[in-house]
């Protein structure tokens, strides 16, 4: 990202020997000039994340040597037929545009294509069966369009396919058993269509979760869940929230296994507690170490919190979110079996004194991890997911000190196309956005506010609930009083753990601007008005750039 603006100059056409053109993540507007089509040596073209509009020029077919073309997140309206003649291409990404029309049979010419992403456009008509010609295809994403008709039988002949996403279209008919032949298929999403009939059970289908098929109300697998719950209730048998976990991708763990793993929920195994229960360290029979979150059902809202965490954690997958392994549920016991985090929470690390502290680069890595997890929650799922209780004690660190966002007990899932909802459930004082605490208004911008407070806390090691913040003084107001030329005075001195005093003194003047930028971002995130806060996508981009600048500055000085 270089903040380039304006249109792509036609003079680019004079760069006849140019092999790679990367202009991604800028503010470029206008159309692709026809002069770009004269760059016949071009192998890679990446114009992602700009504001380029109009049709992709017909002459793009002149770039016969191109192997990778990525034009996602722009405002293109059409793809020319000549695009499908680029036989050398192995990667094409036109997602998140405004492309209309249909997929022609000429797409079968792309015999070397490994990745095709046309998601989040306005393509319609049927999915062409000629896609079976693409024998090298590994990733196919046609989600969030308006495709109609059936899923072509011939897709089952694309033997190399590893990921298939046809979600959020208008597809009908049954899920064909020919898809069971896709032995390398690791990811499948057919959700939110109008599919009917039964779900295949053989081949890769044995490993897919309910997330792959949700939103198709006539699928028999979904009806089976309702029937099983009704049958168990009529027989007075315990109803499990995810009884079909083993069928839909999570291992089954019984109540007695959990007792054995935690030594009968022994206090010696206790890792911590929260509003709705306690977390124990457990060792399963196969030696796997897990975290077992047991809900206290005598606490009002605990059962609802369990259901909510199940709903979220079984449907989301991201390296910076705590992973669910399984659950155990009956009428008087609810527990989640979660990935164990041996390095505890960010909150505990911020309480550490002395040598066992996080230096500045590790703290930046953690905040980037958290931003990445939140960005996925806000934008990477069918509906935005708002965490609602972001704070250092809910950020957990694995054996490699990679941060994972945890504790989804009061999470809110917003209805699609609705940016805000209301709730009476509160998060933690000091981290709650003003509109959340006063009006119960929940939106992704509430998480952004909490993130801004947490970013300030991570740099200053001052908790918003500290005794020093009283009489109307808040952490944010205290930080503002030092911004921008005195920000280094409020930084936690242990940020420089591992750096000698001489190095710190030499680097400080150079780093003042870097830290001012980070504090400025934290203040923007924690603005009183939601509309003045940035979104997590922009925050993540800025943080990565700020860390890069920090690394460059620190590399000028010798580390002792």
DSSP assignment of 457-480 equals HHHH---TTSTTS-TT--HHHHHH
Instruction: Judge whether 219 lies within some domain.
Output: yes
Instruction: Judge whether 413 lies within some domain.
Output: yes
The three-state secondary structure class of 330 is strand
Instruction: Judge whether 482 lies within some domain.
Output: yes
Q: Answer yes or no: do 420 and 497 share one domain.
A: yes
Q: Answer yes or no: do 99 and 174 share one domain.
A: yes
Report yes or no: 7 and 28 within 8 Å, Cβ to Cβ: yes
Which residues have a catalytic role annotated? 389
Instruction: Judge whether 86 lies within some domain.
Output: yes
Among the candidates 320, 339, 358, a domain finishes at: 339
Q: Answer yes or no: do 15 and 110 share one domain.
A: yes
Q: Answer yes or no: do 309 and 455 share one domain.
A: no
Distance CA 535, CA 543 (A): 12
Among the candidates 224, 257, 286, a domain finishes at: 224
Q: For 477, left (φ over 0), alpha (ψ -120 to 50), or beta?
A: alpha
The residue ranges of DSSP E strands in 183-267, in sequence order, are 187-189, 194-197, 218-219
Q: Answer yes or no: do 335 and 376 share one domain.
A: no
Q: Answer yes or no: do 380 and 528 share one domain.
A: yes
Q: Answer yes or no: do 201 and 327 share one domain.
A: no
Among the candidates 294, 310, 339, a domain finishes at: 339
Q: Which helix (H) or strand (E) holds 447?
A: helix 444-460
Number of C-beta neighbours around residue 442 at 10 A: 25
Q: Answer yes or no: do 72 and 128 share one domain.
A: yes
Q: Which residues contact 450 (CB under 8 A, 6 or more apart)?
A: 387, 389, 390, 391, 427, 431, 432, 433
Predicted pLDDT of residue 202 = 83
Q: Answer yes or no: do 208 and 190 share one domain.
A: yes
Instruction: Judge whether 238 lies within some domain.
Output: no
Query: For residue 83, which phi and psi values (nearest 5 degrees)?
Result: -60, -35
Distance CA 428, CA 26 (A): 37
Q: Which residues contact 135 (CB under 8 A, 6 or more apart)?
A: 111, 158, 159, 160
Q: Answer yes or no: do 299 and 150 share one domain.
A: no
Instruction: Judge whether 240 lies within some domain.
Output: no
CATH number of the domain residue 281 falls in? 3.30.200.20
Q: Answer yes or no: do 350 and 333 share one domain.
A: no
Tokens of 412: 């809110």
Distance CA 354, CA 346 (A): 16
Predicted pLDDT of residue 215 = 78
β-partners of residue 141 are 117, 165
Q: For 249, left (φ over 0), alpha (ψ -120 to 50), or beta?
A: left
CATH number of the domain residue 163 falls in? 3.80.10.10
Distance CA 492, CA 183 (A): 53
The domain tally of the chain equals 3
Rounded to 5 degrees, what angle do the CA atoms 117, 543, 139 make? Answer: 15
Structural domain including 326 reads 249-339
3-state helix, strand, coil in the chain (%, to 5): 35, 20, 45
Q: Answer yes or no: do 213 and 332 share one domain.
A: no
In this structure, what is the dihedral angle of CA atoms 112, 118, 124, 127, given to the nearest 10 degrees? 30
Q: Mean pLDDT by 10-residue block, N- to C-terminus, for the chain (560 residues)?
A: 80 85 88 90 90 92 91 92 92 92 92 92 92 91 92 90 92 89 89 85 82 74 40 42 38 82 92 84 91 88 80 76 83 86 92 75 93 89 81 92 84 53 58 74 89 94 86 87 83 76 66 87 94 93 90 65
Distance CA 484, CA 538 (A): 21
Q: What is the largest CA-CA distance in the chain?
A: 78
């Amino acid at each position: 990202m270089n903040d380039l603006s304006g249109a792509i100059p036609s003079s680019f056409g004079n760069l006849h020997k140019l092999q790679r053109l990367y202009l991604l993540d800028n503010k470029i507007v206008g159309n692709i000039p026809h002069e770009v089509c004269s760059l016949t040596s071009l192998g890679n073209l990446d114009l992602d994340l700009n504001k380029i509009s109009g049709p992709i020029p017909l002459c793009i077919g002149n770039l016969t040597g191109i192997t990778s073309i990525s034009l996602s997140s722009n405002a293109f309206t059409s793809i020319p037929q000549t695009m499908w003649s680029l036989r050398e291409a192995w990667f094409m990404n036109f997602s998140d545009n405004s492309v209309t029309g249909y997929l022609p049979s000429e797409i079968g010419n792309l015999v070397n294509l490994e990745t095709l992403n046309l998601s989040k456009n306005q393509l319609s008509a049927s999915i062409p069966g000629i896609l079976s010609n693409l024998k090298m295809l590994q990733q196919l994403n046609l989600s969030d369009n308006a495709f109609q008709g059936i899923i072509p039988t011939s897709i089952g002949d694309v033997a190399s396919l590893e990921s298939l996403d046809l979600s959020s279209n208008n597809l009908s008919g049954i899920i064909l058993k020919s898809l069971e032949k896709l032995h390398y298929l690791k990811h499948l999403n057919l959700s939110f269509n109008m599919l009917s009939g039964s779900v295949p059970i053989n081949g890769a289908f044995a490993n897919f979760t309910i997330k792959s098929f949700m939103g198709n109300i006539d699928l028999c697998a979904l009806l089976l869940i309702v029937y099983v719950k009704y049958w168990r209730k009529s027989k007075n048998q315990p109803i499990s929230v995810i009884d079909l976990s083993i069928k839909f991708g999570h291992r089954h763990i019984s109540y007695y296994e959990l007792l054995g793993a935690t030594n009968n929920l022994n206090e010696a195994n206790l890792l911590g507690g929260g509003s709705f229960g306690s977390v124990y360290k457990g060792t399963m029979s196969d030696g796997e170490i897990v975290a077992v979150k047991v809900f206290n059902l005598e606490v009002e809202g605990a059962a609802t919190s369990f259901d909510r965490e199940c709903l979220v954690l079984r449907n989301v997958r991201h390296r910076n979110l705590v992973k669910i392994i399984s659950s155990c549920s009956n009428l008087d016991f609810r527990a989640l079996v979660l990935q164990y985090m041996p390095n505890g929470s960010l909150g505990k690390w911020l309480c550490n004194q002395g040598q066992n502290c996080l230096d500045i680069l590790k703290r930046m890595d953690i905040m980037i991890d958290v931003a990445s997890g939140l960005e996925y929650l806000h934008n990477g799922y069918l509906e935005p997911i708002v965490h609602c209780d972001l704070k250092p004690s809910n950020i957990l660190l694995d054996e490699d000190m990679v941060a994972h966002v945890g504790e989804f007990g009061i999470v809110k899932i917003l209805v699609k196309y609705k940016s805000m909802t209301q709730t009476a459930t509160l998060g933690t004082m000091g981290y709650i956005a003003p509109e959340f605490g006063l009006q119960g208004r929940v939106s992704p911008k509430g998480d952004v506010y909490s993130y801004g407070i947490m970013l300030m806390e991570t740099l200053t090691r001052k908790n918003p609930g500290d005794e020093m913040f009283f009489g109307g003084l808040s952490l944010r107001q205290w930080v503002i009083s030092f911004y921008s030329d005195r920000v280094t005075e409020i930084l936690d001195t242990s940020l420089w753990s591992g750096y000698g005093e001489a190095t710190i003194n030499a680097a400080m003047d150079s780093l003042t601007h870097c830290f001012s930028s980070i504090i400025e971002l934290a203040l923007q995130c924690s603005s009183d008005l939601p509309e003045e806060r940035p979104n997590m996508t922009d925050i993540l981009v800025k943080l990565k750039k700020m860390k890069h600048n920090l690394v460059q500055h620190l590399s000028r000085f010798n580390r002792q």
